[in-house]
Chains A and B, each alone.
Chain A
């Protein structure tokens, strides 16, 4: 069934959003007590606040973090692929995104239809980016590849993704 055992390939993260890369950095993402593994299920109510992200590396390197949703508005008809939720640049290695410059404010996952994938992509920057990038005009139809090409970020160094679906409105008894 799966061509390769890499969960990013199986989940088509590599293919829809990214190109094949070799992970060179470690990134751990925590929503509250829950650690994100590839393909795990997170409730949108647990993801209201930005997650705690721990990036490896030494502090003279700068990183960029992007969080996107390639399945907007619905996985069967992704017209607005991708919907970008969060962009933070100039994060010093070994710290978290609060030390970086937030280009686009964090927006919580709100999948209207179906089960959406939410992807955290980490790039290593060659140089401080700060002034060169502004907020994208709209969150829809974002392209991570073009964003990385525009800022000359190259291939990602770490990626993780999770799934989320709309929670039923009424409390399940």
Chain B
């Protein structure tokens, strides 16, 4: 709201009082009646502003009927999800990371496993990435262009995807699932984290 300074000049050079009329005329016009009477009378504001997503303020009554309680002003839209205090039935491994970082970590790990054939990582990560490695090999088994593009969207290096699609039918043609093997090994020295080798079968 830039107040044009040129307009706000004192009416005469000797007076210290600013004229409000020039200021008021420069401001955008707001048609509102400021409450001059006592507060118990409800105030109606017609503001030319967007108020679509805010819950209707019960203090500003626009004539909608029948609120009995606070929740009536809100329409709760949820997927029917239940919130428990415990972890019962939750099978997604969180790996101590927010979802975007978790996805990136798993993408990187599957890329490295498909590149090197055997990697050493922590047991939690190894058992979390099994699902995604199997998924990539299943995409390669199908072999169509759509599946290839889906694999390219997940694996970070495209040569690995092309090599995977070339060799998976020979290597895993008869095997149904279970394309990885996890071998537990000694804990890491720095933080005693349980480690494991994960390898392509």
Contact = CB atoms under 8 A, between A and B. Distances in A.
Interface stretch (A44-52, A61-69, A72-80, A140-148): A72-80
A57 interface: no
Interface stretch (B42-50, B69-77, B140-148, B182-190): B182-190
A133 interface: no
A10 interface: yes
Contact of B117 (A12, A74, A163): A74
Contacts of A10: 183
A74 B167 CA distance: 14
B72 to A, nearest CB: 54
Contacts of A74: 116-117
A76 B182 contact: no
Chain A's interface: helix, strand, loop or mixed, by majority? loop
A163 B197 CA distance: 10
Contacts of A100: none
Contacts of A115: 116-120, 197, 199
Interface in A20-47: 39-41
Interface of B: 114-120, 167, 181-183, 185-186, 197, 199-200
Given A1-B182, A39-B185, A163-B197, A77 B118 contact: no
Contact of A39 (B115, B116, B119, B183): B183
Contacts of A163: 197
B186 A114 contact: no
Contacts of B167: 77
Interface of A: 1-2, 10-12, 39-41, 71, 74-77, 113-115, 163, 165
Given A40-B186, A115-B119, A115-B120, A76 B114 contact: yes
Contacts of B199: 75, 115
Given A40-B186, A115-B197, A163-B197, A76 B181 contact: no
B117 A75 contact: yes
Contacts of B118: 71, 75-76, 114-115
B186 A113 contact: no
Contacts of A12: 181
A113 B116 contact: yes
Contacts of B200: 75-76
A75 B116 contact: yes
A39 B181 CA distance: 14
Contacts of A11: 183
A41 B200 CA distance: 19
Q: Most B CB atoms within 10 A — which of A11, A39, A75, A113?
A: A75
B181 A77 contact: no
A113 B199 CA distance: 13
A113 B167 CA distance: 18
Nearest to B182: A1
A81 to B, nearest CB: 12
A-B pairs, 7 with minimum CB distance: A76-B117, A75-B117, A114-B116, A75-B118, A115-B118, A114-B117, A114-B118
